[in-house]
Amino acid sequence: MLRCYKSHMDMLVEVDRDAIETIPDLVWIDLLHPTSAEIGLVETLLSITMPTQAEMAEIELSSRLYSEDGAEFMTMTALSGLDTEDPAKAEITFVIKERVLVTVRFADPRPFNAYLTRALRPRAIPCATGTEVFLGLLESLTDRTADALEKLGNEIDQVSRHVFRRKSTSAEKFQRDLRSVIEQIGMKAELLTMIQESLVSISRLTAYHGAAIAEGGKAARDARQMGKLVQRDALSLGEHARTLTNKLNFLLDATLGLINLEQNQIIKIFSVVAVVLLPPTLVGSIYGMNFDIMPELHWDFGYPLSLGLMVVSAILPYLYFKRRGWL
């Protein structure tokens, strides 16, 4: 799908794709799941060569940030589906040539629609050039990432309270809950990794674009200033994401430690039971031997005496463990 926008009265106005060659104030061409014909139309219009989807997925910095044919090509990793249970990474390429911005994407992140909703209102945000649209989109992506981090931080706090405030008295249910916590920690750690990758991409894009902006008048200074603000926000959010990552690692270690403690407690109980039952077993084994000469076998109180020895030999180790605080 190809959508085109021009700048009119400090807002974006969508125009017919068949008339883009005749529009002098065209500022944004948005390619969402583009066909080869749509890509060819943009390449002919701007005299550039668009990267393929496979080239957009390359991780080399030289393949993601470069200049060619008088245009800047910048590819970043964004996130889509943050409101769902299955968020995913999406590669987005920004191409800036003169006053026109071209975006190529194979996913529809929510910040794009949020930015467009604001840009369609008069004087809501700067959108007179492709550079302003580019920086506005990056700002919208950063804001959306900040919201996701805030939500993720609250969820991590809930996991922390669940880990350290045991409510279940059943050992089996407690361990089952902790296994569920480990699964949650794994999912949140994966999302944090994707968020950090996206923030690094935004920071690189703003730094590259800021270095590529030629010295000029007020528009160039404003663009550099806005780019610095977006980059600063991305860096600060990256620090916050690393803090949350450290907290998740701590929670994972604590959860595994609690599981080990619970398992050790069960093993300790079996060990104590074995030690308590060992002396009575010894007494029973002695008097169960088949020797002819065993005086106790002929005693009138031999049987009660052996039972008493078994009970006393079981109680004494129990009392000893209790006194030492091992139970």
Tokens encoding 80:
């889509």
Residue 93 scores a pLDDT above 90: yes
Q: Which residue has the tokens 């039972």?
A: 307
Q: 270: buried, middle or exposed (CB in 10 Å: 19+, 13-18, 0-12)?
A: exposed
Type and span of the H or E element at 299? none
The three-state secondary structure class of 103 is strand
Span between the terminal Cα atoms of the chain, in Å: 70
In the chain, what are the domains? 2-262 (3.30.460.20), 263-324 (1.20.58.340)
Type and span of the H or E element at 99? none
Angle between helices 218-286 and 302-324 (to 10 degrees): 160
d(CA 110, CA 106): 13
Any idea what DSSP says for residue 147?
H
Banded model confidence at residue 172, pLDDT cuts 50, 70, 90: low
What is the Cα Rg of the chain in Å? 35
Instruction: Return the pLDDT at 179.
Output: 79
d(CA 41, CA 92): 19
Structural contact between residues 93 and 32, judged by C-beta atoms closer than 8 angstroms: no
Percent share of the chain, pLDDT over 70: 94
d(CA 283, CA 291): 15
Q: Could you give the residue ranges of the DSSP H alpha helices within the chain?
A: 36-46, 53-56, 61-64, 110-119, 130-164, 171-212, 218-286, 302-324
Residue pLDDT, tens place only, 32-44: 999 999 998 888 8
Of 80-84, 129-133, 155-159, give the lowest mean pLDDT range: 80-84
Q: How far does CA 128 lie from the centroid of its chain? A: 35
DSSP 181-228: HHHHHHHHHHHHHHHHHHHHHHHHHHHHHHHHSPS-SHHHHHHHHHHH
Structural contact between residues 100 and 27, judged by C-beta atoms closer than 8 angstroms: yes
Q: Which residue has the tokens 């990056």?
A: 138
φ/ψ (deg, to 5) at 23: -95, 115
d(CA 222, CA 226): 6
Tokens encoding 53:
């989807």
Distances (CA, A) of 133 to 27, 53, 102, 128, 142: 8, 22, 10, 8, 14
Q: Quick one: average pLDDT of 224-252?
A: 90
Residue type present at position 36: S
Banded model confidence at residue 141, pLDDT cuts 50, 70, 90: very high
Residue type present at position 83: D
Residue 22 scores a pLDDT above 80: no
pTM higher than the cut 0.85:
no
Q: Quick one: average pLDDT of 123-130?
A: 82
